[in-house]
Amino acid sequence: MSVTLNAHQFGRLLERTAGHIADEFIPALHGVRLEADDTFLYAIASDRYTLAVARYRHHGLDGEPFARTLPARALASLRRWAADQPGNTPVTVSLAENRLRFTAPQGEVGVGVDDGQEFFGWRGVLRGVIDQIPAEDGTTSPFPALDTRLLARWTDADHYLRLRVTADRQGALLVGEDFIGAQMPVRTRHDGFDTGLADDLDQVRTLWDGALAGAPAAAMPDSLPAARRTPHDAARTVPETAKGLLRQTLSSTHDLIEESSTSPTAVAAHASAGVTAWMAFRYLEALHHADPKLAARIVTETAEQLDDGAIGEFAHDAATAAGHDPNAWHEEFETKRAKQQTTPDEKPAATTSEGERAPATASPALAANG
C-alpha cells in the first residue's frame, strides 16, 4: 500500500497542518493523520479547537487505501528531510507493519506508528460546519468571538483563505486551494467570567455611537490612502503581475505588427519581449496553481530585485551558480555585434527566446508565439 507525490507537495501537506496538532495530553490528536484514497493523500490535524485538512492529488495508489497518524515527535525531522529533497523529487509513502516509510531516490525515512490508533470522524465534523444554516430569526446576526491566538495557526495554510460564519456558537469555516478547516468560537461568558466583549452588533453601535456619530458609511479600500507608486514600480502581487505580463504580451504583439515592415531591429525587440512575457505568464500561472504561497513570495522578491535595479548582477550570479559562463555569453554577443556593424547592408535577423535565428520576415503570429 503506497502513494507517490513530489517532495515539495509532501512538505506542504505537513506545513499546512502541523500547527494545528494537540499537545501530548491528547494522544490521539498529538500528530498529523495521513490518509490515502484512490485520488488524494490527505493530511489532517486538530487540537479540538481548530481542524485543518490539506490534500494533494497523488500519482497513483498502489494497493488499498490506508490511514495512519504520524506522531508529533517525528514531524520536525520528517519536514527537514522533505525540505532537503529537490522539489520535483518523487516521494513514495508506503505502509508496513507499525511503520510508515518515506522513500526518495536520495534516501529513505521510516517512522514508527501505532496501527491500532483510532482517529475521529473529521469528515463528519467538516460536513456539519459546511451544512450549518445561518440564524434567520431577524433578531441577531452571526457575531462569534474567535481566539486570536488560534487565528495565527492558519498562516501556513494559504496566502488567502475564504471565511464563513453562521452563528455565535457554530464553527467558522476556512477554505483555501485543496485545503479546508474549521475554528470553534469561544464563549464570551463562561463560568461566571465576563470578557467584556459586546454580545451583539447593537451593543457595539451603542458603545461606539459617540465616536462614530455623523460619519457617513464608507468602504475601507476607498477611504484609506493608497500607497504612492510610480509607473516604474514592479508589481508585488500575483494577480497584478499576471495582468502586467498579459498586457505586455498583447502590446508587444501589436507593436510587432506595426513595425514589421519598417524596422527589423524593432521586430526582433518586440518579438523577444512578447515571447518572454508570455513564457513568464505561463510559468507564473503554473507556480500559482502548484503553490500559491510560494508564487506570492517569489513575486514579492522579484519586485524587490527589479526595484533595486541590479538585475544584471543578479542574473550574472544566477548564471554562474547554475554552472554557466556569462562572460563567454558576453564575448559571443560582442563578437556578433561587431560583425553586424562591419556588414551594414545585411539586415539582422530576429532571434527567439532560445537564441535561434529566425527570418526578419517571419509572420507576426509565429514570432509572437515563439
Burial class (CB in 10 A: 0-12, 13-18, 19+), 348: middle
Contact 111, 93 (CB under 8 A): no
User: Which H helix or E strand runs over 367?
Assistant: helix 364-368
> For the segment 169-219, what is each residue's pLDDT rounded down to a tens digit?
889 999 998 999 999 988 765 545 556 677 777 888 888 888 888 888 887
How many other CB atoms are there within 10 angstroms of residue 33's CB atom?
22
User: Which pLDDT score, from 0 to 100, does residue 369 have?
Assistant: 35
Half-sphere exposure for 189 (CA within 13 Å, toward CB): 6
CA distance 235 to 252: 19
Amino acid at 343: T
- Give the pLDDT of residue 132: 86
Question: Where do runs of H (alpha helix) occur along 116-185?
Answer: 122-130, 148-151
Q: Low-confidence residues of the chain, pLDDT below 70?
A: 135-140, 188-196, 226-232, 259-262, 343-370
As given in the structure block, the three cell numbers for residue 162 are 475564504
The rounded distance, in Å, linking the Cα atoms of 85 and 106 is 8
In the chain, the N- to C-terminal Cα span, in Å, equals 45
Cα 34 to Cα 189: distance, rounded to the nearest angstrom: 37
| pLDDT at residue number 355 | 45
Answer whether 38's CB lies under 8 Å from 82's CB. Answer: no
**Residue 144 · residue 150 · CB < 8 Å:** no
Please give the torsion angle defined by the CA atoms of residues 173, 177, 178 and 180, in that order, rounded to the nearest 10 degrees.
Answer: -10
Distance, CA of 274 to CA of 255 (rounded, Å): 10
What gap in Å lies between CA 18 and CA 111, rounded to an integer? 16
Entry field: residues in the chain: 370
State whether the Cα torsion 275-276-280-281 is positive or negative.
negative
With a CB cutoff of 8 Å and minimum separation 6, the contacts of 6 are: 87, 88, 89, 90, 91
What pLDDT score was predicted for residue 231? 60
Query: Given this model, what pLDDT does residue 360 score?
Result: 36
pLDDT in tens, 313-323: 888 898 899 89
Rounded distance between C-alpha atoms, residue 212 and residue 247, angstroms: 43
Q: How far is residue 126's CA from residue 57's CA, in Å, rounded to a whole number? A: 20
DSSP state of 131: T
CA–CA gap between residue 113 and residue 135 (Å, rounded): 43
Exposure of 365 in the CB half-sphere (CA atoms within 13 A) = 0
- Domains of the chain by start residue, with CATH: 2-112 (3.10.150.10), 238-368 (no CATH)
Inter-residue contact 367 to 350 (CB < 8 Å) = yes
Are 201 and 143 in contact, with CB atoms under 8 Å apart? Answer: yes
Closest CA to 179 of 53, 288, 292: 53
Contact 85, 79 (CB under 8 A): no
| pLDDT value of position 308 | 84
Please name every residue paired with 2 in a beta bridge, in sequence order, or none if there are none.
62, 94
